[in-house]
Amino acid sequence: MGTKSSKGKIWLFNVIFVVVCLGIFLLLWNAPPETTPRLPHDDNHQPFFAMDKKEAEKFCENCHQPDGIRPLPETHPPTYRCLLCHKRDF
């Protein structure tokens, strides 16, 4: 009895599925470009490029703590694991 209408519904679900996938795709496609500053190449940071990440992160706070030479802005996100956000490129 209900075969015809349930087939119609499956067709509808497939369309919804494709539309949702397209929506997610467009959302990711339009994502803003990455804005997190990378680790700078200067005398202060050059040593950290060659180090293990966890090893290097022990030094960041020497200068980037609140009373260091370059305190983090108040709007800075949580600071756990600096180098997972601030990427190092070579």
Q: Which residues in this chain contact ligand HEC in the complex, by CB under 6 A?
A: 36-37, 39-40, 42, 44-45, 48, 56-57, 59-64, 69-70, 72-73, 75-86
Closer to ligand HEC by Cβ: residue 23 or 47? 47
- Smallest gap from Cβ 86 to ligand HEC, in A, equals 4
Q: Are 49 and 23 in contact (CB under 8 A)?
A: no
CA distance 5 to 9: 6
DSSP state, residue 45: T
**Beta strands in the chain, from DSSP E residues, in sequence order:** none
- Smallest gap from Cβ 85 to ligand HEC, in A, equals 3
